[in-house]
Amino acid sequence: MSSSPPPQPFKFPREHSFPPFFTPQTNLTTHHAQQTKWSSLVLSYCRHHRIFKLSLSDSLSQSDLFHNQQINRRLSPQHQRSIIDFLRKEGRAEYQKENGGDLVYIYWRTPEEWAGIIESWIEETAQKGQVLTVYELLEGENTRGSEFYGMDREVLIKALNVLVKRGKAQIFGQEDSLGVKFF
């Protein structure tokens, strides 16, 4: 994504340096606590780096999220999937394709939350009844500095569709030159 990486590195929580954190726990209560910790870690990590779409295999091998080199621990693919499933149950993640696959949207803000942010931005800048291009929302001069500047296009379109359902917006135009009209 075109967003510049934040200057300070992400501060991992204490558990991340705790070797058992990387092994699925057998005790049910502990397991649940572990899953909760992991999901909130994934969310805050993605929020910090503005990651909208996570490639499961890539993130497993490349990023420092699922792999702590200091303690030489790496999450197993199964465990990673189970965390993603845990997030999905909370509505905080979604596979790009229905049947799974490698790419997962991580909703540290759900499309509904994004829709609210966009709506209030439209309200603040008095752009009701205006036609805006999707590109303009993502990369335009006007949106520079707004929270959705440089966000993932597909997530943005999901958010816009939420607004469409509420009757607050209308998407039109061709696939490569989508426009939105706000009401």
Partner 1 sequence: MGTSTSKITPQDQAILDLKTQRDKLHQYQKRIQSLTTRETEIAKQLLAQNDKPRALLALRRKKYQQSLLAQTDSQLEQLEKLVSSVEFALIQKDIVFGLQQGTKVLKEIHKEMGGIENVEKLMGETADAIAYQQEVSELIGGRISTHDEEEVEAELEALAAEVTGTGKTKTPAEELPSVPNTGFPSRQQEPARQEEQQAKVAERREALLT
Q: Tell me which residues touch partner 1 (CB under 8 A).
A: 130-133, 135-136, 139-140, 164, 167, 170-173, 177, 179, 181, 183
Q: Which is nearer to partner 1, 74 or 181 (CB)?
A: 181
One-letter amino acid at 175 equals E
Q: Which is nearer to partner 1, 2 or 72 (CB)?
A: 2
CB of 79: closest distance to partner 1 in angstroms? Answer: 40
End-to-end CA distance of the chain: 29
User: Quick one: tokens of 88?
Assistant: 């999905």
The residues, ordered by sequence, that sit 6+ positions from 36 with a Cβ below 8 Å of its Cβ are 86
CB of 58: closest distance to partner 1 in angstroms? Answer: 25
Say if residues 99 and 48 touch (Cβ distance below 8 Å): no
CB of 173: closest distance to partner 1 in angstroms? Answer: 5
Say if residues 168 and 69 touch (Cβ distance below 8 Å): no
Q: Which is nearer to partner 1, 60 or 122 (CB)?
A: 122
Q: What is the distance between the alpha carbons of residues 7 and 76, in angstroms, rounded to a whole number?
A: 30
CB of 170: closest distance to partner 1 in angstroms? Answer: 6
